Structure 1
């Protein structure tokens, strides 16, 4: 292996440092670095300053928008609270109104039931009186018919005459 490397190393020469400033371009590199050192901060500085100003302006705008959004949020929260209070009031009023309607409906239903019950009771008592009167008439009629049927066989002439006189006396006293 050394035999292979020997011709390669022999053809390139020996290893060492080249200290000749013209051959190594040290002067050119020093000029370029000095130029960059001198001019790059101004060029990059102005670019960075413009970028910094733009970023600060964007941050200022963002802060303004944040403040505006915060105020809008606070206003929206106040309006939401007011709307919730109004909705609660409407709900409360609706429940009270529904309760009043329900109570009024119950009251009217009870009144109607009482009226119907009184009407039924009145109708019942009227019908009972009518039936009672009819039964009395029927009983009186039957009693008169029975009495008239039995009377001729039970009364003789003197008893009939005495009964008629007594009935006439009763009619006269009335």
Structure 2
């Protein structure tokens, strides 16, 4: 490159600063020919290289955009699934709490019913036991009263009194028979 610059501009101390106008010395023709050949033959190669590079860049950008769109779609799907899962979790929590509360209320109601049934059964048992005891006491009192009465009758009843009682009862029966006829 230095030769090219030196060939156009001459900086000698004797001549001073100047421009070399000799075409053959400056190699302008040689440079023009080389540049022309390079442009003519290299244009297709360079154009192909640039087109290939452009296509690679374009396909890379396009595939990157497709990957980005795919990732965005996957992200949106993941967000939608997350929203659905969060909704289901809230629903399960609400249903779980309400179901627990319902089961708690059901257990309380069943326990209350069982308690009432046990209370009623206890009261019935107490009542039946009281009636049984009262009946037993009445039987014992009746038995004792009959025993006392028999003891009193046996001690006071003699054969004459016994005959009078029998006759009196016969008279009562006859009187009742006459009334019914």
Q: TM-score range by the shorter chain?
A: 0.5 to 0.7
Q: Which residue of 1 aligns with 2:175?
A: none
1:99-126 CA deviation, whole Å, 9 max, x = no partner?
2222211211111111111111101110
Cα distance in 1 for residues equivalent to 2:127 and 2:151 = 36
1:148-172 CA deviation, whole Å, 9 max, x = no partner?
1123435786xxxxxxxxxxxxxxx
Deviates more, 1:64-73 or 1:114-123: 64-73
Number of aligned residue pairs: give it: 124
Q: Which residue of 2 aligns with 1:169?
A: none
- Which runs of at least 4 in structure 1 moved beyond 6 Å after TM superposition? none
Gaps of 5+ in 2: 1-30, 157-181
1:122-147 CA deviation, whole Å, 9 max, x = no partner?
01110110010010010011011012
Bigger RCO (CA 8 Å, 6+ sep): 2
Gaps of 5+ in 1: 1-33, 158-174
Q: Which residue of 1 aligns with 2:23?
A: none
> Displacement of 1:87 after TM fit?
0.9
Q: Which residue of 1 aligns with 2:18?
A: none
TM-score norm. by structure 2 comes to 0.59
Over aligned residues, Cα RMSD in angstroms? Answer: 2.5
Paired residue for 1:138, among 126, 136, 139? 136
Paired residue for 2:119, among 118, 121, 127? 121
TM-score norm. by structure 1 comes to 0.61
1 or 2, which has the higher strand percentage? 2
